[in-house]
Amino acid sequence: MALPDSSWREDVLPRYRWRPVPSRAYEVWYGKTVYSHEGRNCGFWFRYELLTRSEGQQPRADVWGIHFDATDPSGNFQLHQSFDFERLQISPDVLAIAMDRDTYLVWDAVAGCVRSAARLTGPDGSLSWDLRFFPEPPSFRYVSPAMVARLVADSNAATPFEDVSYDGWLERNVAAAGHRRPLRGAPGMLGHIWGTRHADGWCWLHANQFRAEDGTPVRAALEALTLTRGGNRNALTTVFLRLGDEVLDASGPIDLLRRNRGTVSRGGYRLETSGGGLHVEAYASVEPGRERTFELIDTDGTTLSNTSSLVGDVELVVRRGDGTRPMRLTCRSAAALEKVERS
């Protein structure tokens, strides 16, 4: 059984067949979730990547698992493992990417959910997980199809699952001691990027655990991406906001060229946009010690430095054109912030 028909179906399926192997391409599915453990916020980020380079290089199949702890530095760790590309199983017509029998991202037709599982091993121990979520629309494309060829011809991205809840478990084993943690209704997302070459640099924000000024939970999801060139200079910014039943999708040509503003600094990320009677401002930051840095290999053999956190903070202000009091929301120790620069 294939994924149900929906606006996000084409945004999650593989864009390359990988059999035969394309001459130069990459494709990534990544997810993040934030959960509570012993009264503190923790974040988990996974990444499945397929990559092939020209010049006779062997194709790659890699998986990352990265864990963040908002208060305990010993809870910050990451594990990366390369798999035998020849053993890769992938379908162009359904979400089914399997590195081996224990490591995969699939659509479970029987249960009606998306399932991510892995068993990674390394010098510092092992990391396993088995997570699942039930699909919920809407899907968000960072750049409208009309602008792809003009602005980011080498790379494209979508978030087919913007605001979902993960269930399952993750387990870290160090020195023969295992620590399994259950996840129940943990807010998260799943994204998908692909192309012939990564962008030179970017800053990405995702948050979906907001509270009002009085501490009341608010149903909201915010995502933004700013492409950067030459350090932190803004090249292009795209924004998505879901606030209750309202959706602001600021990814069209006018949004990208006039309305959206994104500023990346050493200390954080500031963005601004407007549309649909809303004016949105947000500022994201991460406290020292809450980030992890690792390297990615691109299709041309160069490397990118990725510095990420899932336990950042966001201040969000939403103003309406009718002059009503601005809505001020906060996301504490539960926001994803990723900064990438070409090495």
Domain boundaries of the chain, sorted by first residue? 9-342
pTM of the full structure? 0.94
Q: What mean pLDDT is predicted for residues 155-178? A: 87
pLDDT at 1 over 50: no
In the chain, the amino acid numbered 164 is V
Collect all residues with Cβ–Cβ distance below 8 Å to 176 and sequence separation of at least 6: none
pLDDT digits 0-9 by tens, 281-331: 999 999 988 999 999 999 999 999 999 999 999 999 999 988 899 999 999
Q: What mean pLDDT is predicted for residues 213-229? A: 94
What does 204-272 look like in DSSP terms, one character per residue?
EEEE--EE-TTS-EE-EEEEEEEEEETTTEEEEEEEEEEETTEEEEE-SHHIIIII-EEEE-SSEEEEE
C-alpha 107/C-alpha 5 separation (Å) is: 13
pLDDT digits 0-9 by tens, 76-128: 899 999 999 999 999 988 899 999 999 999 999 899 999 999 999 988 789 99
Domain 9-342 belongs in CATH node 2.60.40.420: no
C-alpha 101/C-alpha 337 separation (Å) is: 31
Query: CA dihedral in degrees (79, 80, 83, 89; nearest 10)?
Result: 80
